[in-house]
Structure 1
Amino acid sequence: MKRILFVCTGNTCRSPMAEGLMRRVAADEGLTGLEVRSAGVAAMEGTPASGHAASVLEARGCPAPSASTYLNQSAVDWADLILTMTSSHKRHTIQLYPEAVDKVHTLKEYVQDDAESAGKLAEVESLVTELQLKQALSGEVTEEERARVRMLQQELPSPDIADPYGGPLRLYEACAQEIEDCLRKLAAKLKSGQ
């Protein structure tokens, strides 16, 4: 059994779409023993999915999750794998639940199939997390450290899935397609036992 938790900000757009789409992708791919949930780092408990997110899911034959859930210790403990929609969600999750560091990734980072980009992405994520920790402990971040992060970020495609919140339906459709493309790669990775 594999338990995957998708995380975004309010748990009304991206992570509910990822949850609903993953259920369909898992069925399409014959993945059994997979449980999926979603949560938000700033969710208001019980808020329904946005109208456009629900419409996109319905059009793709996926039920929308019933209501938003705030990211909490119980959800983190439940999950075998936590996939966030952005780097900031990843850092926020790790800051709140440092014991979960090994199972928290951005969705795009986790399914990255280009080894060189994956290595650079892992380096920049590690470096940013390290620098944030350094700042939190009142340490000074050097200009060289900042320059290294900027250089790596410029060499990489964005690890983030943009938030469609408040945008038109076509923005939600594009976001859902980007998520589904990542979920197809995730399904292949899960099927291969990685």
Structure 2
Amino acid sequence: MDSSSTIRILTVCTGNICRSPVAERLLQAGLDQIRPDVFQVRSAGTRAMVGDPAQPISADIIRTYGGSSDGFAARQLTPKILREADLVLTMAATHRGEVMQMDASLLKRTFTIREFARMIEALEQRDGDSPAAPDVPAFWRALPARAASVRHLALAQDAADNDVVDPYRRGEEIYHRMEDELAPAILTILRFARRHS
């Protein structure tokens, strides 16, 4: 596949075994249904449990929404991985800060996933119905800057509303809270992709 026609999305959390694998696999499964072979979604952790599979409850959540955790292995976030990304979606503001420390040039391409979902909703409200993008890769490469332009319209009432709770080593109910915080953002991104692809 021609790399210029591939949109690379990176999801980031801490261990890369709970939150970011769910975001990676569900975004990839959904985007593959919309535009096969256009999007490549991967994930990494700021303090990754390198080589570990997704946690069992995270894997169950992935399956519930029609994705697969098969073959998943956690990997450590590196500057090289970041440089390859067109869009970086972190699970919490702290991860966004760590991305910025690693590569400040990614400022306008890095968002928490919940913040990004609100921003693209605000973008659509501002711009109204626009036709499907004739050049999907170009549209998605320009999207982070466009989303950043409406950040002021998509501010969270509480800063915690930008984050997805970390369920690692916590009870099943915290995994379901993670799911409740993450799933709406993923669905918003997929609906947006369907409308503009």
TM-score between both structures, scaled by the size of structure 2:
0.72
Name the aligned partner's letter for residue 94 of structure 2: S
Q: Is 1:96 aligned to residue 96 of structure 2?
A: no
- Equivalent position of 2:179 in the other structure: 176
- How far the C-alpha of 1:83 sits from its partner, in A, is 0.3
**Residues 157 and 173 of structure 1, relative CA distance in 2, 3 Å threshold:** closer
- Equivalent position of 1:142 in the other structure: none
Is 2:44–2:74's contact at 8 Å kept on the other side of the alignment?
A: yes
1:61 to 62, 66, 69: 66
Q: Which runs of 5+ in 2 are unaligned?
A: 1-5, 124-149
C-alpha distance in 1, partners of 2:158/2:21? 30
- Equivalent position of 2:22 in the other structure: 17
Q: Is 1:165 aligned to residue 168 of structure 2?
A: yes
- Equivalent position of 1:136 in the other structure: none
Work out the percentage of aligned pairs sharing the same amino acid.
28
Alignment of 1:118-129 (within 5 A): 118-119=151-152
Answer with 1 or 2: which has the greater Rg.
1
C-alpha distance in 2, partners of 1:84/1:182? 12
C-alpha distance in 1, partners of 2:174/2:154? 26
- How far the C-alpha of 1:183 sits from its partner, in A, is 1.2
C-alpha distance in 2, partners of 1:27/1:181? 18
Write the deviation string for residues 144-191 of structure 1: whole angstroms up to 9, x where unpaired.
Answer: xxxxxxxxx765662111111122334323322432210121123334
Q: Which runs of 5+ in 1 are unaligned?
A: 123-152
How many residue pairs get matched?
163
TM-score between both structures, scaled by the size of structure 1:
0.73
C-alpha distance in 2, partners of 1:55/1:45? 20
Q: State the secondary structure of the residue aligned to 2:161.
A: coil
Q: State the secondary structure of the residue aligned to 2:162.
A: coil
- How far the C-alpha of 1:23 sits from its partner, in A, is 1.9
